Amino acid sequence: MENFRDRILNEFEPQGLKFFRESIWSSALQRSDLSKIRSFLTKNNFYGIDVSLVLPSDDETNYLVWRRHYNKSGDCIVFSTSTEIPSGSNHLKITFGYPDIDSRSRARSKELITINYLRLVFGLTAARELVFTSLFDRDDSVTTISEDGYASPFDTQEINRFEHPPIEGAEVIEIPEEAALLLHKAFNQNLPQERFILMWLAFESITNFISNKGSNGQKRQAYFKETLKSETANEEVKRLFSVRCDLFKEGRMATSSIEDDCWSLNRPWFPRHSPSSGNSVSHTLLETAA
């Protein structure tokens, strides 16, 4: 590993590239493919990038995986556990060089663009799963980073124990199986951008399931304004729709607020209270959230 990094430093420093990020991906690429990968990157003006294959020679190489559990009091505990990388397993190592630390910090999205070009052209198994990432330069020691691990509001949400009206009197609206599957996948995502996409697809599935009249916008308006009778909820859903359009049509992500948008998108499908109570849990929560 040290010989590899010395080679990278000696090769790229004359080009003014002194700070590096290398990422290791499980891969089906063979050594005979590397020349094609390099030619493809050069032809498409991707510079300051090195590609190679690495195979652990023993079972002593590990990476960290984040886990969550809840203690006796219901608090969310996030911790890491070491996972073994099998001996002889095949991995793509792709290393990006930058002139300074700030450039390296800002370039994560560009690195993902490069990886996904390789996947689209050479096949998904060219870079199937990110194992870990390392940062290095001439002066500092190597910093290794495994997957992102953090507790989102979905991990730290308190158990609903409403008394006015009592939560046990809630009635659920029927949702299609497809929406349940999408929500299940959404709630298991680490990144809020991925969670929002899956939650919005579930949202549209539910909207179309409960109403079959008019456009999707008319269906949403009919449910929130006429069924829930909440103008506040309707306006919040309109705002979320604009977030959806930015993401789905323009490819723009408001990363600073996307987690809050996921949380807000979860609100409309809270159970509603039985009509006899004269109240609505869903209506109340949406009014408060908005």
Does 94 share its domain with 187? no
Mean pLDDT, to the nearest integer, of 254-259?
A: 72
pLDDT band at 269 (very low <50, low <70, confident <90, very high): low
Q: Which residue has the tokens 């608090």?
A: 75
Does 192 share its domain with 98? no
pLDDT band at 39 (very low <50, low <70, confident <90, very high): very high
Does 24 share its domain with 134? yes
Mean pLDDT, to the nearest integer, of 219-241?
A: 84
Does 131 share its domain with 180? no
In a domain, 95, yes or no: yes
201, pLDDT greater than 90? yes
Residue 220 confidence (pLDDT): 83
Rounded CA-CA distance 192/195 in Å is 5
Does 279 share its domain with 180? yes
Rounded CA-CA distance 81/151 in Å is 16
In a domain, 61, yes or no: yes
Q: Mean pLDDT over all residues of the chain? A: 82
Residue 219 confidence (pLDDT): 83
In a domain, 151, yes or no: no
In a domain, 139, yes or no: yes
Q: Which residue has the tokens 């370039």?
A: 107
In a domain, 155, yes or no: no
What does each C-alpha distance from 57 to 89, 128, 134, 233 come to in angstroms? Answer: 9, 21, 19, 57
Does 226 share its domain with 268? yes
pLDDT in tens, 141-187: 677 766 655 567 778 777 777 788 787 777 767 778 898 899 889 88
Percent of the chain with pLDDT over 90: 31
Does 203 share its domain with 283? yes
**Core vs surface per residue 233-248: b (16+ CB within 10 A) or e:** bbebbeebeebbeebe
pLDDT in tens, 81-134: 888 888 999 999 999 999 999 999 888 878 888 999 999 899 999 999 888 888
In a domain, 105, yes or no: yes
Does 16 share its domain with 139? yes
Residue 90 confidence (pLDDT): 95
Rounded CA-CA distance 202/206 in Å is 6
248, pLDDT greater than 70? yes
Give the pTM. 0.66
Question: Which of 59-63, 147-151, 214-218, 259-263 shows the lowest per-residue confidence on average (mean pLDDT)?
Answer: 147-151
In a domain, 107, yes or no: yes
Residue 132 confidence (pLDDT): 86
Amino acid at 1: M
**Distance from the first to the final alpha carbon of the chain:** 52
CA angle at residue 173 from 171 to 176, to 5 degrees? 145
Look at the chain and count its residues: 290
Does 231 share its domain with 121? no
Does 136 share its domain with 239? no
Structural domain count, the chain: 2
Does 63 share its domain with 192? no
* Domain end call among 145, 162, 183: 145
In a domain, 157, yes or no: no
Domain holding 191, by residue range, is: 174-289
* Domain end call among 128, 145, 162: 145
CB 93 within 8 A of CB 54: yes
* Domain end call among 100, 124, 145: 145
pLDDT band at 1 (very low <50, low <70, confident <90, very high): low
* 34 Cβ contact partners less than 8 Å away, ≥ 6 residues apart: 51, 52, 53
Does 124 share its domain with 178? no
